[in-house]
Structure 1
Amino acid sequence: MNRQEAKTWTGAGRIPCEFFLVRYVPDPVRGEFVNIGVLLREAGKPESATVRFTRDWSRVRCIDPDADTEMLEALEGELQRRLAEEDQPVMRTMNESFSQMVQVTIAKPSLAESMPAEMELLMRLHVESRKRESVARKSGRMAIHGRMRSEFERAGVWELMRKRIPASSYTQAGDTLKIDCGYRPNGVVRMFHAVSLDTDIDLAKVLAFSMDGLTKGFADKEGAKLDFAAIVQPLAALAGDAEREEQYSFARETMESKGIRVLTTERLPQLAEAAQRELRV
């Protein structure tokens, strides 16, 4: 064993860290929970703390179908802001930032090769689902949504966008549809919604049905044109299954017939770059 191998084996040269797991607990009495995030910091350096939440809320919805994931996403950003701006103990910040349904574990030690690599490892070990194959169909839309959010975050525009936009503000009271995200450059409103054409055929029909009302609503209330994009998985993902390919084509044509742009996840980097330019980030 050479000197470098010896250092790696014994942990020498690694960064002493501690991490907290962030848990969603919809009913504290029952005690069921899902790990939704990790807070990581170098030992003895509270100012180094960084936090990350999951991008896939399917496990949360399994134990709480009515979970307010928009609130959880907002908590992530608020916590990161407070950790960066305030000089106070991590646990105090966590307790003041979170609602009763979100709890934080005690600190646990770890040794990191680098902080980013350790965060990836901890997320993979403690937060991301280990049963993705068994829930793949159920979480198809959320996987697309997660990728969409990641691309917009990478472009630095996610925090500037509106999220979970209620269609009822532009159609009529009682409309339960909420559009994933959108922004307005000049006189155009660009909206994006994740649709799994493997599992969400009915959602495709709902969006098509809603387009006339949304288009009119934005024109009447905001004096803006609507550019609506449904983000879907590539058809190649369903190759070999004739029935599912037929459903994919039906859903795509249904949405396009109402003026919805149907774009695959492969187009997300270009969409994010366009948003970056239009929002002047």
Structure 2
Amino acid sequence: MPERIQCEFFLIRYVPDVVKGEFTNIGVLLREAGPSSGRDESAVVRFTRDWSRVRCMDADADIGLLEALEGEIAERLRHSATDGKPVMQVLEDTLSNSLQITEARAALAESIPAELEQLMKMYVEPLKVKAERRRTGRAAITAAMRNEFERAGVWGLMRKRIAASLYTRPGDPMKIDCGYRAELQRATAGGIIRMFQAVSLEGDVESAKGLAFSAPQLREGVQRVEDARLELTAVVEPLRSVSSAEDEAMERYRFGVEAMEQQEIRVVTVSDLARVAETARVELRV
């Protein structure tokens, strides 16, 4: 039997009202235990993907900000491994007033990834009900995107909920789901930034039209701000998901795809995500 790894973990809690003291666990930080050396190469963090309990406690909770915080913590932990900053100081610097972290608790792990998964099930994720609702539309696409990028080990290296206003104009409400700067073997002038947006074509095509409308400004803005070429990818459902519907639904689907492709937006389906994630893994040198 392989020797288990001595670990310690911390629960990250959402506390909408510190006076009431009510909270719900939203994440876990796990690291190997041992004499403190000021370096935390093993530290990993994961937040929940199901924000239903947070929404029940606080209908006005900024879920996008909480999701982005996971990536920010992970990025700071990576830097702490090289600059010697203790993990607890990283968390104290990063967490907002509505988030708290528990004291360390001990754990014995077969592996860090397996233990993190188990802790998430035990302390964070809500119990699954038998009649669980199947995710559809954009929610299903975004979940599939995250799953594949996580499987490839690159999700933590990607930017999340990228504000289009950084590249277009102030007040633009659009957020691009995720993206990264590609590390190419043959570096092009300024490089390439790849961005990915989940676009559901099951119901209507307004989101496709909106992305197509914004694409030229995004492309110009990325060139100006980042000195890089933008490759914008829309991830959609496969056509077969609407093939049994009425002809009008299929026509809307084709219209949405064509509208985006006319603006040089690369369109892929969820079936292509494994290949897309593998490309990201190579380009980010994971």
Name the TM-score, length of structure 1 as normaliser. 0.71
Out of 270, 276, 280, which is 1:265 matched to?
Answer: 270
Whether contact under 8 Å (1:256, 1:262) holds in the other structure is yes
Q: Quote the Cα distance in structure 2 between the aligned partners of 1:278 and 1:18.
A: 32
Change in Cα spacing, 1:227 to 1:32, as seen in structure 2 (3 Å) is same
Worse-matched range after superposition: 248-257 or 116-125 = 248-257
Q: Deviations over 1:25-54 (max 9, x none)?
A: 344335454433212345555568522213
Out of 6, 11, 18, which is 1:28 matched to?
Answer: 18
Change in Cα spacing, 1:142 to 1:280, as seen in structure 2 (3 Å) is closer
Worse-matched range after superposition: 39-48 or 226-235 = 39-48
Change in Cα spacing, 1:71 to 1:43, as seen in structure 2 (3 Å) is closer
Q: Does 1:193 align with 2:197?
A: yes
Q: Quote the Cα distance in structure 2 between the aligned partners of 1:225 and 1:16.
A: 45
Whether contact under 8 Å (2:28, 2:120) holds in the other structure is yes
Whether contact under 8 Å (2:141, 2:200) holds in the other structure is yes
Q: What percentage of aligned pairs have identical amino acids?
A: 39
* Secondary structure at 2:264 match in 1: coil
Q: Deviations over 1:36-91 (max 9, x none)?
A: 32123455555685222137364487344424132332023313543676475x65
Q: Which residue number in structure 2 is paired with residue 78 of structure 1?
A: 76
Q: Quote the Cα distance in structure 2 between the aligned partners of 1:265 and 1:27.
A: 39
Q: Does 1:51 align with 2:51?
A: no
Superposed counterparts of 1:198-277, under 5 Å: 198=202, 201-218=205-222, 225-236=229-240, 246=250, 248-275=253-280
Worse-matched range after superposition: 174-183 or 142-151 = 142-151
Q: Does 1:170 align with 2:167?
A: yes
Q: Which residue number in structure 2 is paired with residue 117 of structure 1?
A: 114
User: What residue ranges of structure 2 are gaps of 5+ in the alignment?
Assistant: none
Tell me how many residue pairs correspond in the alignment: 267
Whether contact under 8 Å (1:163, 1:182) holds in the other structure is no
What is the CA-CA distance between 1:176 and the residue it aligns to?
A: 1.3
Change in Cα spacing, 1:92 to 1:214, as seen in structure 2 (3 Å) is closer
Q: Which amino acid aligns with 2:122?
A: L
What is the CA-CA distance between 1:231 and the residue it aligns to?
A: 1.8
User: What residue ranges of structure 1 are gaps of 5+ in the alignment?
Assistant: 5-11
Q: Quote the Cα distance in structure 1 between the aligned partners of 2:80 and 2:122.
A: 26
Give the helix-richer structure, 1 or 2: 1
Whether contact under 8 Å (2:24, 2:54) holds in the other structure is no
Q: Deviations over 1:131-178 (max 9, x none)?
A: 593372473354144235425x62x5863x554433234333321112
Q: Which residue number in structure 1 is paired with residue 97 of structure 2?
A: 100
Name the TM-score, length of structure 2 as normaliser. 0.70
